[in-house]
Amino acid sequence: MNTDRYTYRVTWSAVNKAHIGLCAEFPSLSWIATSPEKALKGIRKVVDDVVVEMLQANETVPEALSEKVFSGKFVVRVPADVHRLLAIQAAEQGVSMNRLVSAKLAA
């Protein structure tokens, strides 16, 4: 299986005073290293190894977020007063509440 399409990220950890390699599809995995390049190489190797183990055990391997199809819809519950405030803001701006909330989320 090709693990190149997974979502990898490298961040600095002040606590560890090192770079941390992460993979969004495997949130429990990480790799600590002295450079960003080593952190990325390390987390990619860990993910490769875990995927091989999962396949050998006939476990379901996570789908890469980059290949997943999203509908563009999700439901969020908010308190009634927040709903009212958003409806007022949308009306004042002459846009739908959906467009207003989408713009706020994207900001």
29-84 tens-digit pLDDT: 999 999 999 999 999 999 999 999 999 999 999 999 999 999 999 999 999 999 99
What is the pLDDT, as a whole number, of residue 1? 82
- Strand ranges (E), the chain: 8-13, 18-23, 30-33
- The Cα–Cα gap between 102 and 77 comes to 15
* Amino acid in the structure at residue 72: G
